[in-house]
Amino acid sequence: MSTPPPGNLPASPPIPLTPELRAAYQDLYDKIETAVEGTTDVTALQALNAQQAQVDDVLQKDDIYRLGANTEAFNALLTQINDTNSGLKTLQSQIAATASHFQTAGDILGAITKVLTLAGL
């Protein structure tokens, strides 16, 4: 399982969010929600909940900006997007690190099975 490399973000994300970017944030929010509902791992829950709240804030602030575009809302949304994307990069790295451990564990289990099979155990 490999994680695609993060893309280069524009210097200034489009505000209000483009329909495609907004849909991507919503899809990410939904996928995090599914992961939260499907795990009891405390470390994973903490990381996922923190980022889900950040993504939700982006969506909410985008709504606020759309309702009454002003400089304060623009700056709040821009800050939220940058903070959220920074956290997402961290989460992406954490998930990639965890995934690599699964591969290593699988390799070790395969090697153990081979040794035990050849040893007749």
Q: What integer pLDDT is reported at residue 2 of this predicted model?
A: 41
Domain boundaries, the chain: 19-118
What is the band of 36 on the pLDDT scale with cuts at 50, 70, 90?
A: very high
Residue 27 has pLDDT above 50, yes or no: yes
Q: Give pTM, 2 decimals.
A: 0.60
| Res. 30 pLDDT band, cuts 50 70 90 | very high
| Mean pLDDT of the region 53-61 | 93
Distances (CA, A) of 120 to 58, 107, 112, 115, 117: 58, 20, 12, 9, 5
Instruction: Check: CB of residue 98 under 8 Å from CB of residue 22.
Output: no
DSSP code string of 41-108: -HHHHHHHHHHHHHHHHHHHHHHHHHHS--HHHHHHHHHHHHHHHHHHHHHHHHHHHHHHHHHHHHHH
- 9 vs 91, residue with greater confidence: 91
Triad 1, 10, 45: Cα angle to 5°: 40
